[in-house]
Amino acid sequence: MRKYVVDAKPFAFDFDLEKTALLIVDMQRDFCARGGFGEALGNDVTPTMSIIPTVKKIVEAARAKGMFVIHTREGHRPDMSDCPPSKLRRSKAIGEDGPMGRILIRGEVGHDIVEELKPLVGEPVIDKPGKGSFYKTDLELILQNKGIESLIVCGVTTHVCVHTTIREANDRGYECLMMEDGTAAFDPADQEAAIRMINQQGGIFGWTTTSDHLFKVLK
């Protein structure tokens, strides 16, 4: 057992390395590059692009310690049979042709993870049809089989897929630490609110911290 304690909000977060996974949510070109789903919805993707170097450092630090690393991707089957009509009505860009292929469709260039954060062999990639990483996926089975109890969470967007994933994990008994500078929303106000909603009321959904605090214990 290797125990670590990270300075965090609302109080220190402790975890056992062997029972902890780094979960990297949706660092895909469709959210973190020009011409993808994020821009198609009218957003400025600068914030999501800007965290790539920080997330890369977090991933490298976790790998160096032998931490279990998991990646997720949001997207739909080419025939879009797994995309609810209600979702499509609110996000009409899904399935349309873009500069990186059909938007938010599995197998397209835009759907894949950015080059800087490519998964290594043996790191699971969870393809999810919804915002939460547990919804209609085998993520929980993988975590149970690995004996995981805690999650360190990075990715995009903080107020949507990251938040939904942490809330799902919280209800399943997992302890979650969200990286404030390893997550991003298109709107800074959403980022600030999302961070506060995680760690408020004594950590109602989990903890938040910054990468410098994590690096101190993973050095």
161 catalytically annotated: yes
8 Å CB contact between 24 and 155: yes
Which stretches of the chain are assigned E, i.e. beta strand?
3-6, 13-16, 20-25, 68-74, 97-98, 101-102, 125-128, 150-156, 175-184, 207-209
183 pairs with which residues across the strands? 155
Tokens 């997550």 -> residue: 183
SS3 category, 28: strand
Question: Of 128, 131, 176, 181, which one is the catalytic site residue?
Answer: 128
Task: Answer whether 57's CB lies under 8 Å from 211's CB.
Answer: yes
Q: Are strands 68-74 and 20-25 parallel, antiparallel or unpaired?
A: parallel
**Catalytic: which of 26, 30, 112, 181?**
26
Task: Decide if 176 is catalytic.
Answer: no
Q: Give 137-153 as a DSSP string.
A: SSHHHHHHHHT--EEEE
Catalytic residue among 83, 154, 161, 176: 161
Catalytic residue numbers read: 26, 128, 161
